[in-house]
């Protein structure tokens, strides 16, 4: 089994940390839907400011809020304003199942509005798998 990227929020900024909340990361459901990230789905989070890496599950916050709130123990890994990368993954049986995948990658402005929507596109080429980044959907 291979673990591969399925969706990514790249460079979203932390809007809050709630240590005494019962865990998870709270995200704007509109942005999650645009990328294909589901409620209760486990995601990896990488903090670009301090290098911390963690995993937790997603809960949806207020639509249109552009929120990114680390809750519970995850709140210790970030500070408000930190840029993070959030990735959702999936498992495939081998390299032969990677071709045809095209995960959505959203990049963000400083106010957590979406800057661009990208796709990482994997195709089968004559020498094996090829990779490209495409703009838009």
pLDDT along the chain (137 residues), means of 10: 97 97 93 98 98 97 98 95 98 92 97 98 93 87
Enumerate domains of the chain plus CATH numbers.
2-135 (2.40.40.20)
Predicted TM-score (pTM) of this structure: 0.94
Say which of 21, 38, 44, 57 is annotated catalytic: 57
Terminal-residue alpha carbon distance, the chain? 28
Binding positions for substrate: 56, 72-74
In our burial notation (b when 16+ CB lie closer than 10 A, e otherwise), range 61-78 reads beeebbbbbbbbebbebb
Is 21 an active-site residue?
no
Burial, 14: exposed, middle or buried (Cβ in 10 Å; 0-12, 13-18, 19+)? buried
Is 24 an active-site residue?
yes
């Amino acid at each position: 089994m291979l673990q591969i990227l399925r969706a990514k929020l790249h460079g979203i900024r932390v809007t809050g940390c709630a240590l005494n909340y019962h865990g998870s990361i709270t995200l704007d459901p509109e942005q999650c839907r645009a990328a294909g990230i589901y409620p209760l789905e486990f995601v990896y989070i990488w903090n670009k400011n301090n290098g911390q890496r963690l995993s937790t599950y997603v809960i949806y916050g207020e639509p249109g809020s552009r929120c990114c709130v680390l809750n519970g123990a995850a709140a210790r890994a970030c500070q408000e304003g930190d840029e993070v990368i959030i990735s959702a993954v999936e498992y495939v049986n081998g390299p032969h199942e990677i071709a045809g995948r095209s995960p959505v990658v959203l990049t963000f402005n400083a106010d957590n509005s979406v800057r661009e929507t990208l796709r990482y596109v994997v195709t089968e080429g004559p020498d094996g798998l090829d990779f490209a980044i495409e703009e838009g959907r």
